[in-house]
Amino acid sequence: MTHGAHPRPDVTYGGRVRRAGGLLSGSTVVAAGMIGANAAAYGMTIVAARLLVPRDLGAVTALLGILQIGTVVALSLQAVTARRIAVAPDQREATIGTVARVSVAIALGTGLLTGLVTVALVGALDLGSIWPALLTGATLVPLTIMGAMAGVAQGAERWGSLAAIYLANGFGRLVFGGGAMVIDPSVTSCLIGLAIGSWAPVLAGLPQLRRRSADGPPESRRPFLREAVLGSHALLAFYALGNADALLARLLLSPHDSGLYSAGLILSKAAVFLPQFVSIVFFPLLARDETSRSRHRAVLGVAVLGLLATVATALLPRLALVAVGGDQYAEIADRLWMFVLAGSLLSIVNLLVWDALARHAHGIVTSLWIALTSLVVATVVLQVGIVGLVASVITVALALVAFVLVAPTARARSITTGA
């Protein structure tokens, strides 16, 4: 090092220690917030199961599925906002100004489109009224705005604020959605409560969109919107891949086996989303890192968590059985570890999707659609059973992870050799 040169703070030993400490602290806070939020949302589902008749519970479950698909836009807004703030912190105020201008319009458009699509499905979903459909669209308006607010907190690494937004979202569902069903146990009442409760995270995140200064030229909206569309496409592809086996089980398996598979999916979904705090906390670092080091560290963290969960499930299948419904699903007790492994691999895929969004590299979308096509074709042609279907998910997810991790390295070596 030449005299007078200053090493980057994050390259020195002290910088690395501070960065590691920050990641650990952020991971703890965000993990606690996400676990609390998921527990509260799960509590709302339990309230619905207790209070609603099976027909109404099925309708609420279907509408919650539509809401999950609709939140792809919110997640994309969060990713784009967080990436821009992380890579250009000096432009934070301009980014916040752009987000504040476009998020409301995007939210209204998302809510309107979802409401219209759901209205068209009223008959197929046997809702009995258009009000639950319209309320589903209305619920997505604040949830989409929440995505922009969460993106500001994530990009600025305000982990306490981000956790508060997540907790407000979960408990807003539980308090207002659950409370509405206590007053009137019906689909419409549940959706009224959810539509009201979805404003709780907006109130918690409102300070994130307040600009400290209005100085400087505003950012152009077009690049932001283009990046948001590309991000929505990538996240939609992941959700399609991650939920394909649930639909395939319904189509290919007997009603009994389909029910058994659905029970296994409870553990699979938990394995997918519980390590998600790693993606959230690592995202700003992934956006700034021009090497693959942070990606490999994040993948290693998620992989270790998945391995521990898989081994624990394999060693304690009877305990895992309690989490999926008890002895009525005892037929798959010895195979539950396969569902956890499948979910763990999909959680790595989820991390790699967020890594691609952080680096503004959207080539992973093609790989996701190819993986989905391969899964559908293989399972339909082979006419698989329960084990065959979950094994197919494991195989496709493992191949996808290997390709996404290895392909950039192989391409770089090829370019180096050619040079």
pLDDT of 15 > 70? The answer is no
- Within 10 angstroms of residue 383's Cβ, the number of other Cβ atoms is 9
**DSSP characters for 12-33?**
SHHHHHHHHHHHHHHHHHHHHH
Q: According to the model, what pLDDT value does residue 326 have?
A: 76
**3-state SS string for 134-165:** HHHHHHHHHHHHHHHHHHHHHHCCCHHHHHHH
**DSSP characters for 331-349?**
GGGGGHHHHHHHHHHHHHH
Tell me the two tokens of residue 64.
């919650």
CA 231 to chain centre: 12
pLDDT tens-digit map of 228-285: 888 889 988 998 898 888 878 878 888 888 878 888 888 888 888 888 888 888 888 8
pLDDT band at 185 (very low <50, low <70, confident <90, very high): very high
The span from the CA of 216 to the CA of 91, in Å, is 9
Mean pLDDT over 29-36 rounds to 86
pLDDT of 11 > 90? The answer is no
The span from the CA of 275 to the CA of 31, in Å, is 8
Q: According to the model, what pLDDT value does residue 292 have?
A: 81
Nearest alpha carbon to residue 348 among 313, 375, 291, 310: 310
Tell me the two tokens of residue 178.
């659950």
Q: What is the pTM of this model?
A: 0.78
pLDDT band at 379 (very low <50, low <70, confident <90, very high): very high
pLDDT tens-digit map of 293-339: 888 988 999 999 999 999 999 999 999 888 777 788 888 899 999 99
Are residues 40 and 171 in contact, defined by beta-carbon separation less than 8 angstroms?
A: yes
User: 156: Cβ–Cβ under 8 A, 6 or more apart, which residues?
Assistant: 85, 89, 92
pLDDT tens-digit map of 58-75: 788 788 878 988 899 999
pLDDT band at 417 (very low <50, low <70, confident <90, very high): very low
The span from the CA of 293 to the CA of 60, in Å, is 43
For CA atoms 158, 164, 170, 176, the dihedral sign is negative
pLDDT tens-digit map of 202-234: 999 999 988 665 555 556 678 888 888 888 899
Q: According to the model, what pLDDT value does residue 215 have?
A: 55
Q: Which of these ranges, 208-217, 225-234, 344-353, 361-370, has the smallest mean pLDDT? A: 208-217
Burial of residue 122 (CB within 10 Å: 0-12, 13-18, 19+) is middle
CA angle 5, 9, 12 (to 5 degrees): 85
Alpha helix ranges (H) inside 289-363: 293-315, 317-323, 336-358
The residue whose two tokens read 């192989």 is 410
pLDDT of 9 > 70? The answer is no
Burial of residue 302 (CB within 10 Å: 0-12, 13-18, 19+) is buried
- Amino acid, res. 268: S
CA 150 to each of CA 34, 111, 203, 299: distance values in angstroms, whole numbers, following the listed order? 12, 18, 12, 23
Domain borders along the chain are: 13-219, 243-418
pLDDT tens-digit map of 69-126: 889 999 999 999 999 998 888 888 888 888 888 999 999 999 999 999 999 988 877 8
The span from the CA of 284 to the CA of 156, in Å, is 8
